[in-house]
Amino acid sequence: MVRTAICPGSFDPVTRGHLDIISRAAGLFDRVVAAVIYNPDKARAFTFSIEERVDFLKRVTADMPNVEVGSHAGLLAEYARELGACALVKGLRAVSDFEYEFQMALANKQLNPELETVFLTTSSKYLYLSSSMVKQIGSLGGDVSEFLPAEILNDVAARLTGRG
Ligand code: PNS
Phi-psi region of 7 (alpha: psi -120 to 50; beta: other; left: phi over 0): beta
Largest CA distance in the chain: 48
Quick one: which of 29, 40, 26, 42 has its CA closest to 74?
40
Tens of pLDDT along the chain (164 residues) come to: 999 999 999 999 999 999 999 999 999 999 999 999 998 888 888 999 999 999 999 999 999 999 999 999 999 999 999 999 999 999 998 888 899 999 999 999 999 999 999 999 999 999 989 999 999 999 999 999 999 999 999 999 999 998 77
Asked about 159 being catalytic, the answer comes back as: no
5 forms bridges with which residues in the sheet?
32, 87
Write down the catalytic residue from 24, 31, 58, 93. 93
| Entry pTM | 0.96
Q: Is 31 a catalytic residue?
A: no
Torsion-angle region of residue 60: left (phi > 0), alpha (psi -120 to 50) or beta?
alpha
- Which of 56, 104, 117, 134 maximizes ligand 1 atoms within 8 Å of its Cβ, making it the mutation to test the pocket? 104
Predicted local distance difference test score (pLDDT) of residue 80 = 98
Residue 102 and residue 118: Cα distance in Å, rounded?
11
